[in-house]
Structure 1
Amino acid sequence: MKFNGQDINQVAVIGLGMTGRSCASYLLKQEIVPLLVDTRVGLDNSALKQEFPLCEIVLANLDDIDFSTYQLLVVSPGISIKQAAFEKARAQGCIIAGDIELFAHSVDAPVVAITGSNGKTTVTSLLEAMASASGVKAVAAGNIGVPVLDVVTDKSIELFILELSSFQLETTDNLHLKAATVLNISDDHMDRYSDIDDYAQAKQRIYRHCETPIANRQDSLTHLIDARGQSFGLDCPANNNEFGLKDGYLMQGEQQLLAVDEMAMVGQHNQLNALAAIALGKYVGLSMDAMLSILREFTGLEHRCQLIPSSDGIVWLNDSKATNVGATLAALDGLQTHQGNIVLIAGGDAKGGDLSPLTQSFEQQISELIVMGKDAELFSEIRNDAHHVESMQAAVMLANTFVNAGDIVLLSPACASIDMFANYMERGQQFMDAVGRVNEY
């Protein structure tokens, strides 16, 4: 296999989750039999042995493995490449890459990419729907849906739309993009990055080989606005390279595109998402009429400010995907015009993040705060009347005592879910199930 101008045949795949298994399958199709490595030493690898009978499988600490004979280490995004084992491998001449980098060496069709702390799944899914409505066969992949290497050889695909995490971008050096955006940057993954600037630099790697960078002009940490660039924001656009809002309309320059009250999605954060998707789609030639039509019917995604049907007149919103402070702030910002009470359910694993940016919104918008999970006490530091509970069922039952018809109960945790739940989907489902039980009483 040719990779970075070299003939590569000695490859190790590190991390054997969905992405790692996809990489292994791809390499086998390139007639390379990789070494498969996982640091979960207690992992039951019987299924892996059946799936990859030709491959040696090693379960061990990375420091205990000799990679000196390997030319390429393909590292899954959940594994930090800042570990000593990778520094040693680089010093020995080994290339460190991820699945997106392998994809970059193989893809023929145009590619656009989206990253950011919040909203990237919504924008990616929205853009895929816009492409379909425009008659373009597109696929959303990467950090969403299917792994990129599972679809890279499909010659019928006319446009790849990639959702990329900072972890994926760390191991990507040669991804050429028609257009790309960093939607926003907020405190997240501070257990993996030294500070927010370190995190932002990882995100901005998306612009390295990008024809048209599209930045959030109101978030300086997303910026790469130059002669090539376009931008979006909630302010009035100054020219045709800017997308924004004016007098209740989505705008490009001075052109009115769509009244925001015609959008199926609610909240200013979703207006920003719509503007980013339009900017990306316009650059790759999607039909503006088709894109605007999708905005009239696209209601958003599960666990992202998802409205839960209820019979009590209370607005129950499932925003379980809000796994960091920025996402919760975005949800609250989108509800600024609400006239009734807002009860917020939050908490979980803060991942070392700073919760203090929530202080003003908590004081001005939240009538009651209910917290749970590993870092519940951190919320009490910024709102000393927070109510502590031990389960989602208890949180919903308590919230129900604080609200009347027209009020909002918002699950927007500002934290990861792994301390109490398998993932954010399970957390959101438990919330929805609990709301259903409350409505039965």
Structure 2
Amino acid sequence: MSCAATELSIPKNSGLQVVVGLGQSGLSVAQYLIEHGYRVAVTDNQSAPALADNLPAAVEIRQFGAIDGDLLQQAARIIISPGISLDTPAVAAARQASIPVVSDIQLFCEACTVPIVAITGSNAKSTVTTLLGQMAADAGINVGIGGNIGIPALNLLANPDMELAVLELSSFQLETVTDLGAQVATVLNMSPDHLDRHGDMLGYHQAKHRIFQGAKSVVINREDPMTRPLVADNLPRLSISIHAPDKDQYGLITDADGQIYLARGHKRLLSADKLLIKGRHNLLNAQAALALGELAGLPLDSMLTTLQHFNGLDHRCQYVTTVANIDYFNDSKGTNIGSTMAAIEGLGAVYAPKDGKLLLILGGQGKGQQFGELTPFINQYVCQVLCIGEDSLQIEQHLRAVKLSDEVTLHQCETLKGAFATIQQVTASSLSQVQAVLLSPACASFDQFSGYEARGDYFGQLVAQLVVQSKTVPVS
């Protein structure tokens, strides 16, 4: 149906639930509400949403082609998809009329009867959510893992035997959540992201920190004051750090010989060289999962066993292969500067003791970020920067404005394929310091790709071509 096809006549206070946005979460909301006997309408900006055919037949009101403001004004409650901004005129008008606007996560937490571990942050939330979920499963717990990753939260309720829910939550999902009531909640880190949606860091911070409402315990990052909730000090909490542990808290212990250990208080838990995931940022992710798991009641020995077998997630600082003695890493999921900072610092610290540097590929859609914040990290660990995508010139301007080192060479390459042509040129020199190539764009991918997965997959294809070329080059 088009949004102008029919004139609706819906009695006020009829209990009509209007779902705004028909992505995976919107579809899960419509299915859930129909199953629970509600009258449901769906509206979406697209004239023919891909998932429209999957809607239950009982959803009779389908207003597509625009967000239908008249329909929203007749709603008892609006359930908004995370991709739809609260500033959308039709939604803003409904809120002005005091019509409740919530997300699928609000419906989930009202219906869920098992403990919830709630995880957000600018970066690493998918890695920590997946790792913690695996820790719970390996410990014999029937766990549901979803939210902003994989399965929509409401679909987890279909499992009657679920004992624990582990949710990754985005700022978009959290901005319409009240009193989540998680057993354990954390904001892993905070760095500028989605400022085009939230307006400024204050708005972004406020959205993220809604995760702490009603929480029974929390995990904080001692390196980042913005992860600390403004809640009572007597609330049970654990903290994590890339430095030595505080008393009875998580951190890293470094021996005189340079060996690094995950630790809780004075107790060494696991040597870092036993982990398959590399980089200092991943040591912080490991601690976060351990701390969350401890507060959720998971056994430590089992968690440590899982940790040693965890090899990370696709497109998240993922080791691809080594070509001509240069390691290639796919961090296409690095879509903001905070994520890229973590990748540069985490991997850079691995190669620095070998006098090696990184070649960094940046660029795409910049989302209003200030890329000059990357300059100190680049100056320390990077010798070549290759800029691609829509905002590549702006990125260069920002980096140079904050005194990019003369020892860092910056190239404009336009595309990822063009970047690989440059990689071959700069690494052919015997004077090259490059020991690793890192795709960590700090940008959205939609200027040239359908998503970060497609960008990362293409990076992998280009690396595979280098492997083939390296095997066909004749030996002189």
Q: TM-score range by the shorter chain?
A: over 0.9
Q: Which residue in 2 is equivalent to 1:345? A: 361
Give the Å deviation of 1:265: 0.9
Q: Deviations over 1:394-433 (max 9, x none)?
A: 2123213222697111101010101110000000000000
1:243 maps onto 2:250 in alignment = yes
Give the Å deviation of 1:436: 0.6
1:155 maps onto 2:155 in alignment = no
What TM-score do the two structures reach when normalised by structure 2? Answer: 0.87
Distance 2:54 2:193 in 1: 37
CA contact (8 A) 1:181 1:214 kept: yes
Q: Which residue in 1 is equivalent to 2:381? A: 365
Distance 2:284 2:225 in 1: 15
Calculate percent identity across the aligned residue pairs.
37
Q: Which residue in 2 is equivalent to 1:267? A: 279
Q: What are the residue-to-residue correspondences of 1:5-404 with 2, within 5 Å?
A: 9-40=15-46, 43-45=47-49, 48-49=52-53, 51-55=55-59, 56-62=61-67, 64-224=69-229, 226-228=233-235, 229-240=237-248, 242-247=249-254, 248-337=260-349, 338=351, 339-381=355-397, 382-383=399-400, 385-403=409-427
CA contact (8 A) 2:119 2:168 kept: yes
Deviates more, 1:166-175 or 1:111-120: 166-175
Distance 1:390 1:375 in 2: 10
Unaligned runs of 5+ in 2: 1-12, 255-259, 470-476
Three-state SS of the structure 1 residue aligned to 2:174 is: helix
Give the Å deviation of 1:54: 2.9
Three-state SS of the structure 2 residue aligned to 1:351 is: coil
2:460 to 409, 432, 437: 432
Distance 1:46 1:243, change over 3 A: closer
Distance 1:86 1:24 in 2: 18
| Pair member with larger Rg | 2
CA contact (8 A) 1:140 1:160 kept: yes
Deviates more, 1:58-67 or 1:280-289: 58-67
Distance 1:172 1:353 in 2: 26
Give the Å deviation of 1:95: 1.0
Unaligned runs of 5+ in 1: 1-6
Give the Å deviation of 1:327: 0.6
Deviates more, 1:81-90 or 1:19-28: 81-90
Three-state SS of the structure 2 residue aligned to 1:327 is: helix
What TM-score do the two structures reach when normalised by structure 1? Answer: 0.94
Give the Å deviation of 1:317: 0.5
CA contact (8 A) 2:320 2:330 kept: yes
Deviates more, 1:195-204 or 1:386-395: 386-395
Report the residue type matching 1:306 in the other structure.
Q
Q: Which residue in 2 is equivalent to 1:409? A: 437
Give the Å deviation of 1:202: 0.8
Three-state SS of the structure 1 residue aligned to 2:160 is: coil
CA contact (8 A) 2:358 2:434 kept: no
* C-alpha RMSD of the superposition: 1.9
Report the residue type matching 2:390 in the other structure.
K
Report the residue type matching 1:356 in the other structure.
G
Give the Å deviation of 1:51: 3.2
Q: Deviations over 1:318-348 (max 9, x none)?
A: 1100000001100011123312131111100
Distance 2:321 2:53 in 1: 45
Q: Deviations over 1:135-193 (max 9, x none)?
A: 11112100011101112131211111000000000111132111011000011101011
Three-state SS of the structure 2 residue aligned to 1:191 is: helix
Three-state SS of the structure 2 residue aligned to 1:402 is: helix
Give the Å deviation of 1:50: 6.0
CA contact (8 A) 2:180 2:212 kept: no
Distance 2:132 2:53 in 1: 38
Three-state SS of the structure 1 residue aligned to 2:203 is: helix
CA contact (8 A) 1:11 1:33 kept: yes
Distance 2:434 2:443 in 1: 27
Three-state SS of the structure 1 residue aligned to 2:197 is: coil
Give the Å deviation of 1:63: 6.6
Q: Deviations over 1:366-417 (max 9, x none)?
A: 1111111111012211147521123222212321322269711110101010
Report the residue type matching 1:230 in the other structure.
L
Q: Deviations over 1:271-299 (max 9, x none)?
A: 11011100010111111011111121111
Three-state SS of the structure 1 residue aligned to 2:426 is: coil
CA contact (8 A) 2:323 2:466 kept: no
Deviates more, 1:363-372 or 1:57-66: 57-66
2:447 to 399, 419, 434: 419
CA contact (8 A) 2:222 2:240 kept: yes
